[in-house]
Amino acid sequence: FLTIQQKERYGRYPTTVSANDLAGYFYLNDDDLDWISKKRSEATRLGYALQLTSVRFVGTFLENDTHVPPMIVQLLASQVNVASLSCLNDYWCSEQRWRHTTEIRTRYGYREFVDKGVRFRLGRLLCAMCWTGTDRPSILFEHACVWLIKHKVLLPGVTTLERFIAEVRTRMESRLWYRLGQNINQEQKNQLENLLTNADDNGRQSLLDKLRKGPVRVSSPSLVKALQRIETIRSLNIVLPTPLYIPQVRLASLARFADRKS
Protein backbone atom coordinates (compact mmCIF):
# COMPACT_ATOMS: atom_id res chain seq x y z
CA PHE A 1 0.00 0.00 0.00
CA LEU A 2 3.04 2.31 -0.11
CA THR A 3 4.16 4.17 -3.19
CA ILE A 4 7.65 3.75 -4.61
CA GLN A 5 8.57 7.20 -3.28
CA GLN A 6 7.39 6.30 0.23
CA LYS A 7 9.46 3.12 0.19
CA GLU A 8 12.51 5.02 -0.98
CA ARG A 9 12.13 7.56 1.85
CA TYR A 10 11.77 4.86 4.49
CA GLY A 11 14.63 4.95 6.99
CA ARG A 12 16.38 7.80 5.17
CA TYR A 13 16.94 11.45 5.73
CA PRO A 14 14.43 13.89 4.22
CA THR A 15 15.69 16.42 1.71
CA THR A 16 15.34 19.20 4.28
CA VAL A 17 15.59 19.07 8.07
CA SER A 18 13.69 21.66 10.07
CA ALA A 19 15.25 23.83 12.76
CA ASN A 20 13.17 22.06 15.41
CA ASP A 21 14.49 18.66 14.31
CA LEU A 22 18.05 19.98 14.33
CA ALA A 23 17.62 21.21 17.88
CA GLY A 24 15.86 18.06 19.05
CA TYR A 25 18.05 15.37 17.49
CA PHE A 26 21.44 16.71 16.43
CA TYR A 27 22.73 18.63 19.43
CA LEU A 28 24.67 16.27 21.65
CA ASN A 29 24.33 16.54 25.42
CA ASP A 30 27.21 16.53 27.90
CA ASP A 31 27.11 12.76 28.43
CA ASP A 32 27.23 12.13 24.68
CA LEU A 33 30.12 14.53 24.19
CA ASP A 34 32.05 13.09 27.11
CA TRP A 35 31.68 9.55 25.75
CA ILE A 36 32.52 10.51 22.16
CA SER A 37 35.60 12.48 23.25
CA LYS A 38 37.15 9.18 24.36
CA LYS A 39 37.29 8.00 20.75
CA ARG A 40 40.80 8.26 19.40
CA SER A 41 40.60 9.59 15.86
CA GLU A 42 38.52 12.31 14.23
CA ALA A 43 36.92 9.73 11.93
CA THR A 44 35.63 7.59 14.80
CA ARG A 45 34.36 10.61 16.75
CA LEU A 46 32.46 12.08 13.82
CA GLY A 47 31.26 8.67 12.62
CA TYR A 48 29.99 7.71 16.07
CA ALA A 49 28.16 11.03 16.46
CA LEU A 50 26.57 10.61 13.04
CA GLN A 51 25.44 7.05 13.77
CA LEU A 52 24.02 8.06 17.15
CA THR A 53 22.03 11.04 15.89
CA SER A 54 20.89 9.18 12.78
CA VAL A 55 19.36 6.30 14.71
CA ARG A 56 17.60 8.84 16.91
CA PHE A 57 16.20 10.71 13.93
CA VAL A 58 15.50 8.15 11.17
CA GLY A 59 15.34 5.00 13.31
CA THR A 60 18.17 3.06 11.70
CA PHE A 61 21.94 3.03 11.38
CA LEU A 62 23.72 4.29 8.28
CA GLU A 63 25.79 2.34 5.76
CA ASN A 64 27.21 5.58 4.34
CA ASP A 65 26.59 9.31 4.49
CA THR A 66 25.32 9.68 0.93
CA HIS A 67 21.85 10.85 1.91
CA VAL A 68 22.85 12.88 4.98
CA PRO A 69 22.39 16.65 4.49
CA PRO A 70 25.84 18.35 4.63
CA MET A 71 24.61 20.83 7.23
CA ILE A 72 24.09 17.97 9.70
CA VAL A 73 27.60 16.63 9.18
CA GLN A 74 29.03 20.11 9.69
CA LEU A 75 26.95 20.66 12.82
CA LEU A 76 28.17 17.40 14.37
CA ALA A 77 31.77 18.04 13.34
CA SER A 78 31.77 21.37 15.15
CA GLN A 79 30.53 19.67 18.33
CA VAL A 80 33.09 16.83 18.38
CA ASN A 81 36.04 19.03 17.31
CA VAL A 82 36.59 17.59 13.84
CA ALA A 83 38.17 19.93 11.32
CA SER A 84 38.13 17.87 8.12
CA LEU A 85 34.93 16.18 6.99
CA SER A 86 36.84 13.98 4.55
CA CYS A 87 37.77 11.68 7.43
CA LEU A 88 34.33 10.08 7.08
CA ASN A 89 35.55 8.29 3.95
CA ASP A 90 37.92 6.26 6.12
CA TYR A 91 35.17 5.62 8.67
CA TRP A 92 32.77 3.95 6.23
CA CYS A 93 35.54 1.61 5.07
CA SER A 94 36.53 0.56 8.58
CA GLU A 95 35.21 -2.07 10.95
CA GLN A 96 34.63 0.59 13.59
CA ARG A 97 31.19 1.46 12.28
CA TRP A 98 29.95 -2.06 13.00
CA ARG A 99 31.38 -1.93 16.53
CA HIS A 100 29.77 1.46 17.03
CA THR A 101 26.29 0.22 16.11
CA THR A 102 26.59 -2.59 18.66
CA GLU A 103 27.88 -0.17 21.28
CA ILE A 104 25.07 2.32 20.67
CA ARG A 105 22.43 -0.40 20.93
CA THR A 106 23.78 -1.49 24.30
CA ARG A 107 24.56 1.94 25.75
CA TYR A 108 21.36 3.68 24.67
CA GLY A 109 18.92 0.76 24.92
CA TYR A 110 17.89 0.24 21.29
CA ARG A 111 15.94 -2.90 20.46
CA GLU A 112 14.98 -4.93 17.40
CA PHE A 113 11.45 -5.20 16.00
CA VAL A 114 11.43 -8.93 16.77
CA ASP A 115 12.31 -8.44 20.45
CA LYS A 116 9.77 -9.59 23.02
CA GLY A 117 6.89 -7.20 23.58
CA VAL A 118 7.59 -4.83 20.69
CA ARG A 119 5.10 -6.24 18.21
CA PHE A 120 2.47 -6.63 20.94
CA ARG A 121 2.70 -2.99 22.08
CA LEU A 122 2.76 -1.60 18.55
CA GLY A 123 -0.06 -3.93 17.51
CA ARG A 124 -2.18 -2.76 20.41
CA LEU A 125 -1.77 0.86 19.28
CA LEU A 126 -2.58 0.05 15.66
CA CYS A 127 -5.60 -2.05 16.68
CA ALA A 128 -7.02 0.89 18.59
CA MET A 129 -6.43 3.22 15.63
CA CYS A 130 -8.05 0.78 13.18
CA TRP A 131 -11.03 0.10 15.45
CA THR A 132 -11.84 3.71 16.32
CA GLY A 133 -10.83 5.41 13.07
CA THR A 134 -10.66 5.05 9.33
CA ASP A 135 -7.06 6.05 8.63
CA ARG A 136 -5.50 4.88 5.38
CA PRO A 137 -2.80 2.18 5.59
CA SER A 138 -0.12 4.71 4.65
CA ILE A 139 -1.13 6.89 7.60
CA LEU A 140 -0.95 3.89 9.93
CA PHE A 141 2.51 3.20 8.50
CA GLU A 142 3.67 6.72 9.40
CA HIS A 143 2.27 6.38 12.93
CA ALA A 144 4.07 3.04 13.32
CA CYS A 145 7.39 4.57 12.24
CA VAL A 146 7.00 7.42 14.73
CA TRP A 147 6.16 4.97 17.52
CA LEU A 148 9.18 2.78 16.75
CA ILE A 149 11.59 5.70 16.71
CA LYS A 150 10.12 7.16 19.91
CA HIS A 151 10.45 3.84 21.75
CA LYS A 152 14.00 3.17 20.52
CA VAL A 153 13.12 0.27 18.24
CA LEU A 154 15.21 -0.09 15.09
CA LEU A 155 13.08 0.09 11.96
CA PRO A 156 12.51 -3.33 10.37
CA GLY A 157 12.43 -3.92 6.63
CA VAL A 158 9.75 -1.94 4.85
CA THR A 159 7.89 -5.05 3.67
CA THR A 160 8.00 -6.50 7.21
CA LEU A 161 6.27 -3.44 8.62
CA GLU A 162 3.81 -3.37 5.71
CA ARG A 163 2.78 -6.98 6.34
CA PHE A 164 2.42 -6.35 10.06
CA ILE A 165 0.07 -3.40 9.49
CA ALA A 166 -1.92 -5.38 6.91
CA GLU A 167 -2.36 -8.21 9.42
CA VAL A 168 -3.64 -5.80 12.07
CA ARG A 169 -6.12 -4.21 9.66
CA THR A 170 -7.39 -7.62 8.55
CA ARG A 171 -7.88 -8.67 12.16
CA MET A 172 -9.86 -5.53 12.94
CA GLU A 173 -11.99 -5.92 9.80
CA SER A 174 -12.82 -9.50 10.82
CA ARG A 175 -13.75 -8.24 14.26
CA LEU A 176 -16.05 -5.63 12.73
CA TRP A 177 -17.92 -8.14 10.57
CA TYR A 178 -18.20 -10.53 13.49
CA ARG A 179 -19.76 -7.82 15.67
CA LEU A 180 -22.19 -6.82 12.92
CA GLY A 181 -23.53 -10.35 12.58
CA GLN A 182 -23.19 -11.43 16.20
CA ASN A 183 -26.84 -11.01 17.28
CA ILE A 184 -28.60 -11.86 14.01
CA ASN A 185 -30.93 -14.86 14.44
CA GLN A 186 -31.67 -17.56 11.90
CA GLU A 187 -34.87 -15.95 10.62
CA GLN A 188 -33.07 -12.70 9.94
CA LYS A 189 -30.26 -14.59 8.19
CA ASN A 190 -32.84 -16.27 5.92
CA GLN A 191 -34.36 -12.90 5.12
CA LEU A 192 -30.97 -11.48 4.17
CA GLU A 193 -30.10 -14.52 2.07
CA ASN A 194 -33.37 -14.16 0.18
CA LEU A 195 -32.19 -10.74 -0.97
CA LEU A 196 -29.44 -12.50 -2.90
CA THR A 197 -31.84 -14.66 -4.92
CA ASN A 198 -32.49 -13.82 -8.54
CA ALA A 199 -35.03 -11.07 -9.10
CA ASP A 200 -35.30 -11.48 -12.87
CA ASP A 201 -35.65 -14.35 -15.30
CA ASN A 202 -32.17 -14.12 -16.83
CA GLY A 203 -30.51 -14.63 -13.44
CA ARG A 204 -28.17 -11.67 -13.77
CA GLN A 205 -29.51 -9.47 -11.01
CA SER A 206 -30.42 -10.24 -7.41
CA LEU A 207 -33.21 -8.55 -5.48
CA LEU A 208 -30.59 -6.68 -3.45
CA ASP A 209 -28.93 -5.31 -6.59
CA LYS A 210 -32.28 -4.24 -7.95
CA LEU A 211 -33.25 -2.41 -4.76
CA ARG A 212 -29.88 -0.67 -4.40
CA LYS A 213 -30.17 1.07 -7.75
CA GLY A 214 -32.48 4.00 -7.31
CA PRO A 215 -33.65 6.46 -9.97
CA VAL A 216 -31.08 9.00 -11.11
CA ARG A 217 -33.23 11.48 -13.02
CA VAL A 218 -35.27 14.27 -11.49
CA SER A 219 -38.75 13.74 -12.95
CA SER A 220 -42.26 12.67 -12.00
CA PRO A 221 -41.80 9.05 -13.16
CA SER A 222 -38.55 8.87 -11.18
CA LEU A 223 -40.33 10.08 -8.08
CA VAL A 224 -42.97 7.37 -8.51
CA LYS A 225 -40.25 4.74 -8.93
CA ALA A 226 -38.48 5.99 -5.80
CA LEU A 227 -41.68 5.73 -3.76
CA GLN A 228 -42.32 2.23 -5.11
CA ARG A 229 -38.76 1.28 -4.16
CA ILE A 230 -39.32 2.47 -0.61
CA GLU A 231 -42.57 0.53 -0.34
CA THR A 232 -40.86 -2.63 -1.61
CA ILE A 233 -38.11 -2.29 0.98
CA ARG A 234 -40.67 -1.74 3.76
CA SER A 235 -42.67 -4.74 2.66
CA LEU A 236 -39.67 -7.00 3.22
CA ASN A 237 -40.03 -6.27 6.96
CA ILE A 238 -36.37 -6.98 7.75
CA VAL A 239 -35.51 -5.65 11.21
CA LEU A 240 -31.91 -6.16 12.30
CA PRO A 241 -30.54 -5.75 15.84
CA THR A 242 -28.65 -2.58 16.67
CA PRO A 243 -24.90 -3.33 16.50
CA LEU A 244 -23.27 -2.98 19.91
CA TYR A 245 -19.78 -1.81 20.84
CA ILE A 246 -18.98 -0.57 17.34
CA PRO A 247 -17.62 2.98 17.07
CA GLN A 248 -19.90 5.40 15.26
CA VAL A 249 -17.10 6.38 12.92
CA ARG A 250 -16.92 2.79 11.61
CA LEU A 251 -20.70 2.64 11.11
CA ALA A 252 -20.57 5.99 9.29
CA SER A 253 -17.79 4.63 7.07
CA LEU A 254 -19.87 1.56 6.21
CA ALA A 255 -22.86 3.80 5.42
CA ARG A 256 -20.75 5.92 3.06
CA PHE A 257 -19.44 2.78 1.39
CA ALA A 258 -22.98 1.44 0.89
CA ASP A 259 -24.09 4.81 -0.47
CA ARG A 260 -21.29 4.83 -3.06
CA LYS A 261 -22.24 1.33 -4.17
CA SER A 262 -25.93 2.14 -4.53
Q: CA nearest 238: which of 196, 197, 199, 187? A: 187
| Residue 262 scores a pLDDT above 60 | no
Give the least confident one: 62-76, 84-98, 135-149, 195-209.
195-209
Q: Which residues make Cβ contacts (< 8 Å) with residue 119, sequence separation at least 6?
A: 113, 164
Chain Cα centroid distance, residue 171: 15
- For the chain, what is the HEC assignment? CCCHHHHHHCCCCCCCCCHHHHHHHCCCCHHHHHHHCCCCCHHHHHHHHHHHHHHHHCCCCCCCCCCCCHHHHHHHHHHCCCCCHHHHHHHHCCCHHHHHHHHHHHHHCCECCCCCCHHHHHHHHHHHHHHHCCCCHHHHHHHHHHHHHHCCECCCCHHHHHHHHHHHHHHHHHHHHHHHCCCCCHHHHHHHHHCCCECCCCCCCEHHHHHHCCCCCCCHHHHHHHHHHHHHHHHHCCCCCCCCCCCHHHHHHHHHHHHHHC
Distance CA 82, CA 257 (A): 59
| Residue 261 scores a pLDDT above 60 | no
| Residue 89 scores a pLDDT above 80 | yes
Choose between 77 and 202: higher pLDDT. Answer: 77
Identity of residue 22: L
Mean pLDDT across 141-164 = 94
pTM of the model: 0.78
| Residue 234 scores a pLDDT above 80 | yes
Distance CA 102, CA 6 (A): 28
Average pLDDT taken over every residue of the chain: 87
pLDDT tens digits, one per residue of 162-219? 999 999 999 998 988 888 888 888 888 888 888 887 666 666 778 777 777 777 788 8
